[in-house]
Structure 1
Amino acid sequence: MNYQLQHKLQRRIRLYIWVVIVGLFLSGVTAFPIETEVAILINHPPIQSPAMAAWLNKVYQAVCTTNITYPFLGYGTDWLAFAHLMLAVLFIGPLNNPVKNIWVIEFGLIASVAIFPLAFIAGGIRGIPFFWTMIDCSFGIITIALLLPCYNNIKKLGGLV
């Protein structure tokens, strides 16, 4: 009975962690070609909203102007992308040994909660529209929704091991 429960918990834990790894990987990889991606969003908007269209056009103009005039600033988003890729690698530890590496899940939960003050404070200072701040916050909500049950399952697994 313990073996079946242990196996079930391990499968759930791995699923949660894989979703987080894939999410971090995709958000990292997609941070490199920002100009191209924003152009695609302008031509194929996910939401038909005048506010969203205006915002995406403003972002596109800013990215294009910056890439032409100050291309070295794109290096900052390259590092952002790299950080996401490295964070994805970080989660391999709990994928292999969740009980031993539960601290990575705790770190992920702390980082997910920290998204909210950053989005609201920096977003307000930088003039980010409220709807975009909510999109940014959704990443924290989704990650918490994945890592909290993952954490709880690791705690249960630790009691069995």
Structure 2
Amino acid sequence: MDTTANVKKITVVGVMTALNIVIARVFLIPVPMTKGFLNLCDAGIVLIALLYGANYGGLVGALSGFLLDLLAGAPQYMLFSLVIHGFEGWVFGKVIEKEKTPGRLVLAVVLATIIVSCGYLACETFLFKFSTAIIGFPMNILQAIVGSLVGIVLYSQLRKVIH
């Protein structure tokens, strides 16, 4: 077991979680009907999943989603975000684990988008009602796709530097 490599991964995960939260708070678009917001949280989750795999992607997703909602004053979303974004990061990492081909990346983006959009549809239906939740559904799809694409672009630029 390479201790230096493990320390480097843990450090990168911690820094990426913090950076992900800052970026998501800076680029924040409120959705008044659901009392939620759109952000670029998915970009950091996808980037870490691509760099370090499913477990790290899931960890950054869970921590980022949970802490972002705490800091944003949206505690009603915290546990939902922990599960939704944690699962998103883990699934994305699992899909591209063996190979990062264009086809696998497309599949990972599609699955991440389904997880995020359907996860928040269920969450907001539970917290509010379906008619409120469905209003945010298209924006959650857009957030997941844009965030995933930003994460992929960042990965293509950073993979040689970070590894």
Determine if the TM-score, normalized by the shorter chain, exceeds 0.5: no
Tell me the TM-score normalised to structure 2 length. 0.34
Tell me the TM-score normalised to structure 1 length. 0.35
